[in-house]
Every structure is written in C-alpha cells, then in structure tokens.
Amino acid sequence: MYNSDVFRRISEKSSMMSKSQNKIAQFIINHPDTAPFLTASKLASRAGVGEATVVRFANFLGYRGYPEMQQHLQEAIKRQLTTVERLELSSEEYSEDEKVVYEILNDDIQNIKNTIQRIDPAEFKRAVQAIIEAERIYILAYRSAVSLGTFLEFYLDLVLQNTELIRSADGVSEHLLGIKEQDLVIGIGYARYTRRTVEVMKYAQEKGARTMALTDNLMSPLIPYADIKLLANSEISSFIDSFVAPLSIINALITTVTRKEQHKVKKRLADLEDLWATFHVFK
C-alpha cells in the first residue's frame, strides 16, 4: 500500500538513476505541490529533460505509465490536506470509545484551519463595518443554531445595545415588521438549513435591510439572500454539525467590533463592572 508512495520509490532507487532521471527526481522533490499538476511534457521542460525521459522515469519507478505516477503524486498531496493534524489514533492505546473525543477535537482543529483558508479579509471587514453602522441588529437562528445566536446576541447587545435574537419559529416576528434600511439581519444557517431562516432572510432583503449570512458553504440556501457572506466549516465525524469554527468567527467579529468602537465601549464596560459589583454577580 505504502510502497505506492512516489517519494519512497524515488529514494529507494536514487542510487541507480541516470543524470536526467536525477534531474526529474530533484524537480519532483523540490516542487512537491507543483509536480502533481503537470503534464508529462511540462514536467519534462521544467526539469530540463526530454518528454520521453519522463515517461521512462515513471516506468523506472515501477509505474505502468506517467498518469499512474501522477495519480500517486496527487494522492500524496491529498493525504497532506486531510491529515495535517491527525494524531496517532491507530494504536491500541485507547479503546474505540476513548478515541472519539480525540477524533472530534482534531476534526474541530481542522475545521478552524479550513475556515482560516477561506476567510476573505475584505468581506470580513465589510461584516464588521455593517455591524458598527447598523441602527438595529436582528440575529436569526433556529434549532441548534440558537446557541450561536445567543452568544452573538449576548455580546453585541452588551457593547452596542441594539441587538435582538429572533428564535421563535412561527412566521416573521413582529419585531421584523418595522425593519428599516439601516438595520442589519444576521442569519445563521447550518446543515439541515431551517426553511424559516431562509424565508426571513429573503423578507429582510426585500424590505431593503442589509443582510449577512454565517453558514458552511457557498451553496447554502442563505447565500442568495446575503449581502455579506461569512463561511465557517462544520464537518465532524458525528451525526451533528460542529459549531466550533463558526463560534470562532463570532469571537473574531465581536472582538474586532469592540476594538474599533473602543472609545464608546470602554465607558459602558466600566459602568457595567460597577453594576455587577453592586449585585455580586461574579465570584
């Protein structure tokens, strides 16, 4: 299985390589994330050898032809993509049962990493700006996503005092009836996208309000109705969707908004401190 690994084969046979073959091997090793995408003739010219030599090189390593070698190079790159952080869960050290927790936490690390890749800084900036400029903010979240909505509402309302979470599932809330163009609606939608979230987003957009979606991918049904799109991955080895990466994005939103509005927020937080102290809210 593993002897299919191109790099292993190269190192095994490196002593028997001709001058040109060495050039090719060198190129592949020095450009591991370019080589898998090249055609035989491109690889040839990049490595400075003839086309035929490349094909012979593949045969030399034991492949049936260049495409087979190419495929194995691609496999290697794919493994890299998916297992970056994979812990050694294979051993017998832990029972099936105990592995789950490690598996899930690693999946979630991967989710955040993939989310980082997909961040569009300009779009994120727009999201922050929209929150700051909004007169009122409505957060749409149903079912399990209510947890995310609750968190976002808690902090946005703490610092801006103009945020409200819409969670009742029946029809468009009365609160949204008077929605204005200066208002912002943030829809949170994952996996089994709740129909209601989509409907309300659509309604808000038709009313001319700004809309923002936090969802898992661009094919999500929320996307067509979102002026601002934030993506965060949610896949874990479970029957549930993970809200870890979206929550991290929310952390970032709250933090950035607060830093930008520091001058306004500072006094309010200080006042709150006094209030909390008076009522002994914290230990």
- Cβ-based nearer residue to DNA, 69 or 160: 69
- Residue 118 CA to residue 247 CA, distance in Å, equals 15
- Regarding 260 and contact with a copy of itself (CB under 8 A), the answer is yes
Stretch that binds DNA, among 62-70, 78-86, 88-96, 187-195 (CB under 7 A): 62-70
Q: Which of residues 69-128 bind DNA (CB under 7 A)?
A: 70
Choose, by CB under 8 A, the member of 178, 219, 267, 278 that binds a copy of itself: 219
In contact, 196 and 148? CB cutoff 8 Å: no
Should residue 109 be labelled a site residue for a copy of itself when binding is judged by CB under 8 A? yes
Which backbone phi and psi does 262 adopt, to 5 degrees? -45, -50
Does residue 139 contact residue 148 with C-beta atoms inside 8 Å? no
Q: Rule CB under 7 A: which of 29-48 touch DNA?
A: 39-41, 48
Residue 83 binding target from DNA, a copy of itself, none, CB below 5 to 8 Å by type: a copy of itself
CA dist 275 and 28 (Å) reads 65
Rounded least distance, CB 222 to a copy of itself, Å: 9
Question: Minimum Å distance from CB 71 to DNA?
Answer: 9
- Give the shortest CB-59-to-a copy of itself separation in angstroms: 19
Using the minimum distance from each CB to DNA, give the nearer residue, 49 or 185.
49
Q: What is the CA radius of gyration of the chain?
A: 26
Distance CA 159, CA 270 (A): 11
Residue number with CB closer to DNA (42 or 268): 42
Rounded to whole angstroms, the Cα distance separating 198 from 163 reads: 20
Mark the segment that binds a copy of itself (CB under 8 A) among 47-55, 58-66, 110-118, 179-187.
Answer: 110-118
Query: Per CB under 8 A, which of residues 48..77 are in contact with a copy of itself?
Result: 71, 74, 77
| The pair of three-digit structure tokens given for residue 239, joined into one six-digit string | 């029957």
* Cα separation, 159 vs 262, whole angstroms: 10
Per CB under 8 A, contacts with a copy of itself among 149-188 are 150-151, 154-155
Q: Does 19 bind DNA (CB under 7 A)?
A: yes
- Binding partner selected for residue 18 from a copy of itself, DNA, none, CB under the kind-specific 5 to 8 Å limit: DNA
- What are the phi and psi torsion angles at 19 (to 5°)? -60, -50
Q: Is 32 exposed, middle or buried (0-12, 13-18, 19+ CB in 10 A)?
A: middle
Query: Residue 166: what are its φ and ψ, rounded to 5°?
Result: -100, 115
Q: Supply the angle between the helices 244-260 and 96-118 in degrees, to the nearest 10.
A: 40
Query: For binding to DNA (CB under 7 A), which residues are involved?
Result: 18-21, 39-41, 48-53, 55-56, 58-59, 64-67, 70
